[in-house]
Amino acid sequence: MDKFLTFTHINEQGQAQMVDVSEKKSTERTAIAYGEIHMNKAVASGIKNQTIKKGEVLQVARIAGIMAAKKTFELIPLCHVLTLTKCTIDFNWKTDQILIVQCLTKAVGPTGVEMEALTGANIALLTIYDMCKAMDREMKITNVGLLEKSGGKSGHFISASQEVDE
Protein backbone atom coordinates (compact mmCIF):
# COMPACT_ATOMS: atom_id res chain seq x y z
CA MET A 1 0.00 0.00 0.00
CA ASP A 2 1.27 3.49 -0.85
CA LYS A 3 2.53 5.15 2.33
CA PHE A 4 0.66 8.34 1.42
CA LEU A 5 -2.62 6.45 1.54
CA THR A 6 -1.99 5.08 5.03
CA PHE A 7 -4.10 6.69 7.71
CA THR A 8 -2.56 6.61 11.16
CA HIS A 9 -5.94 6.77 12.90
CA ILE A 10 -7.21 3.60 11.17
CA ASN A 11 -5.97 0.12 12.06
CA GLU A 12 -5.53 -2.87 9.73
CA GLN A 13 -9.19 -3.83 10.25
CA GLY A 14 -10.38 -0.36 9.18
CA GLN A 15 -11.33 0.68 12.71
CA ALA A 16 -10.62 4.05 14.28
CA GLN A 17 -7.70 4.08 16.70
CA MET A 18 -5.66 6.51 18.73
CA VAL A 19 -2.10 6.65 17.41
CA ASP A 20 0.46 5.06 19.73
CA VAL A 21 3.02 7.77 20.51
CA SER A 22 4.78 5.88 23.31
CA GLU A 23 7.90 5.30 21.19
CA LYS A 24 8.12 8.89 19.93
CA LYS A 25 10.73 11.25 21.33
CA SER A 26 9.50 13.99 23.65
CA THR A 27 10.39 17.41 22.27
CA GLU A 28 9.27 20.95 22.86
CA ARG A 29 6.34 21.60 20.54
CA THR A 30 4.57 24.82 19.70
CA ALA A 31 1.72 25.77 17.42
CA ILE A 32 0.02 29.02 16.46
CA ALA A 33 -3.50 29.03 15.03
CA TYR A 34 -5.30 32.00 13.54
CA GLY A 35 -8.80 33.14 12.71
CA GLU A 36 -10.77 36.28 11.97
CA ILE A 37 -14.20 37.53 12.91
CA HIS A 38 -15.86 40.14 10.73
CA MET A 39 -18.48 42.33 12.42
CA ASN A 40 -20.49 45.50 12.00
CA LYS A 41 -19.29 48.89 13.26
CA ALA A 42 -21.51 48.85 16.36
CA VAL A 43 -20.08 45.55 17.60
CA ALA A 44 -16.50 46.60 16.86
CA SER A 45 -17.04 49.83 18.76
CA GLY A 46 -18.66 47.98 21.67
CA ILE A 47 -15.74 45.56 21.92
CA LYS A 48 -13.13 48.33 21.71
CA ASN A 49 -14.94 50.49 24.28
CA GLN A 50 -15.95 47.57 26.52
CA THR A 51 -19.64 48.45 26.30
CA ILE A 52 -21.09 45.09 25.21
CA LYS A 53 -23.90 44.26 27.64
CA LYS A 54 -22.73 40.69 28.27
CA GLY A 55 -19.37 41.88 29.61
CA GLU A 56 -15.77 42.38 28.57
CA VAL A 57 -15.76 40.34 25.40
CA LEU A 58 -12.05 39.85 24.82
CA GLN A 59 -11.27 38.75 28.37
CA VAL A 60 -14.10 36.22 28.33
CA ALA A 61 -13.04 34.98 24.87
CA ARG A 62 -9.42 34.67 26.06
CA ILE A 63 -10.39 32.52 29.05
CA ALA A 64 -12.77 30.42 26.90
CA GLY A 65 -10.05 29.80 24.31
CA ILE A 66 -7.49 28.77 26.91
CA MET A 67 -9.97 26.47 28.65
CA ALA A 68 -10.94 24.88 25.32
CA ALA A 69 -7.31 24.30 24.29
CA LYS A 70 -6.77 22.41 27.56
CA LYS A 71 -9.82 20.23 26.88
CA THR A 72 -9.16 19.43 23.21
CA PHE A 73 -8.80 15.72 23.97
CA GLU A 74 -12.38 15.76 25.33
CA LEU A 75 -13.74 17.37 22.15
CA ILE A 76 -11.84 15.58 19.37
CA PRO A 77 -12.13 11.81 19.85
CA LEU A 78 -8.64 10.62 18.87
CA CYS A 79 -6.56 13.47 20.30
CA HIS A 80 -4.11 12.64 23.07
CA VAL A 81 -4.31 14.09 26.55
CA LEU A 82 -1.62 16.78 26.68
CA THR A 83 -0.18 18.89 29.45
CA LEU A 84 0.09 22.32 27.93
CA THR A 85 2.96 24.34 29.34
CA LYS A 86 1.72 27.54 27.73
CA CYS A 87 -1.43 28.79 26.04
CA THR A 88 -2.09 32.36 25.00
CA ILE A 89 -4.92 34.01 23.11
CA ASP A 90 -4.11 37.35 21.48
CA PHE A 91 -6.33 39.81 19.65
CA ASN A 92 -5.41 42.40 17.02
CA TRP A 93 -7.59 44.54 14.81
CA LYS A 94 -6.88 43.85 11.13
CA THR A 95 -9.30 46.61 10.10
CA ASP A 96 -11.91 48.62 11.96
CA GLN A 97 -14.33 45.70 11.67
CA ILE A 98 -12.13 42.59 11.43
CA LEU A 99 -10.64 41.16 14.61
CA ILE A 100 -7.77 38.66 14.43
CA VAL A 101 -7.54 35.92 17.06
CA GLN A 102 -4.30 33.98 17.54
CA CYS A 103 -3.81 31.05 19.86
CA LEU A 104 -0.32 29.86 20.78
CA THR A 105 0.07 26.50 22.49
CA LYS A 106 3.20 24.88 23.85
CA ALA A 107 4.03 21.53 25.42
CA VAL A 108 6.88 19.07 25.87
CA GLY A 109 5.87 15.63 24.73
CA PRO A 110 5.68 13.01 22.00
CA THR A 111 2.86 14.59 19.97
CA GLY A 112 2.07 18.02 18.57
CA VAL A 113 -0.16 20.78 19.87
CA GLU A 114 -1.74 21.94 16.60
CA MET A 115 -5.23 20.73 17.48
CA GLU A 116 -5.07 22.52 20.82
CA ALA A 117 -4.12 25.80 19.12
CA LEU A 118 -6.89 25.40 16.52
CA THR A 119 -9.43 24.56 19.22
CA GLY A 120 -8.41 27.55 21.34
CA ALA A 121 -8.66 29.97 18.42
CA ASN A 122 -12.02 28.61 17.30
CA ILE A 123 -13.60 28.73 20.74
CA ALA A 124 -12.33 32.27 21.32
CA LEU A 125 -13.93 33.28 18.00
CA LEU A 126 -17.19 31.52 18.86
CA THR A 127 -17.25 33.19 22.27
CA ILE A 128 -16.96 36.61 20.63
CA TYR A 129 -19.84 35.67 18.35
CA ASP A 130 -21.94 34.45 21.27
CA MET A 131 -21.37 37.56 23.34
CA CYS A 132 -22.15 39.92 20.45
CA LYS A 133 -24.78 38.08 18.40
CA ALA A 134 -27.64 40.21 19.69
CA MET A 135 -26.03 43.18 17.95
CA ASP A 136 -24.92 41.43 14.75
CA ARG A 137 -26.15 38.01 13.66
CA GLU A 138 -24.21 38.36 10.40
CA MET A 139 -20.77 38.19 11.96
CA LYS A 140 -18.52 35.85 9.96
CA ILE A 141 -15.72 33.68 11.25
CA THR A 142 -13.17 33.21 8.47
CA ASN A 143 -9.60 32.25 7.59
CA VAL A 144 -9.13 29.79 10.43
CA GLY A 145 -5.99 27.74 10.13
CA LEU A 146 -2.61 26.72 11.42
CA LEU A 147 -0.02 29.46 11.00
CA GLU A 148 3.01 27.73 12.42
CA LYS A 149 4.19 24.65 14.28
CA SER A 150 7.53 23.46 15.54
CA GLY A 151 8.95 20.39 17.21
CA GLY A 152 8.73 16.73 16.47
CA LYS A 153 9.86 14.63 13.53
CA SER A 154 8.15 16.78 10.88
CA GLY A 155 10.04 19.87 12.03
CA HIS A 156 9.13 23.50 11.56
CA PHE A 157 6.08 24.47 9.48
CA ILE A 158 5.01 27.98 8.47
CA SER A 159 1.83 28.35 6.48
CA ALA A 160 2.18 29.94 3.05
CA SER A 161 -1.59 30.35 2.66
CA GLN A 162 -2.37 32.51 5.67
CA GLU A 163 -1.91 36.24 5.44
CA VAL A 164 -1.67 37.94 8.79
CA ASP A 165 -1.38 41.67 9.22
CA GLU A 166 0.23 42.50 12.54
pLDDT one-digit tens code per residue, 24-49 = 889 999 999 999 999 999 999 999 99
Has residue 17 got a pLDDT over 90?
Answer: no
| Full-model pTM | 0.88
d(CA 18, CA 43): 42
Predicted confidence band at 132 (pLDDT cuts at 50, 70, 90)? Answer: very high
State yes or no: is 130 an active-site residue: yes
pLDDT one-digit tens code per residue, 78-115 = 899 999 999 999 999 999 999 999 999 999 999 999 99
118 labelled as ligand-binding? no
- Exposure of 113 in the CB half-sphere (CA atoms within 13 A): 34
28 labelled as ligand-binding? no
Are 88 and 33 within 8 A, CB to CB?
no
Out of 2, 20, 130, 136, the active site residue is: 130
**Cβ neighbours of residue 79 under 8 Å, at least 6 residues apart?**
72, 73, 115
Nearest alpha-carbon partner for 18 in 105, 141, 110, 89: 110
56 labelled as ligand-binding? no
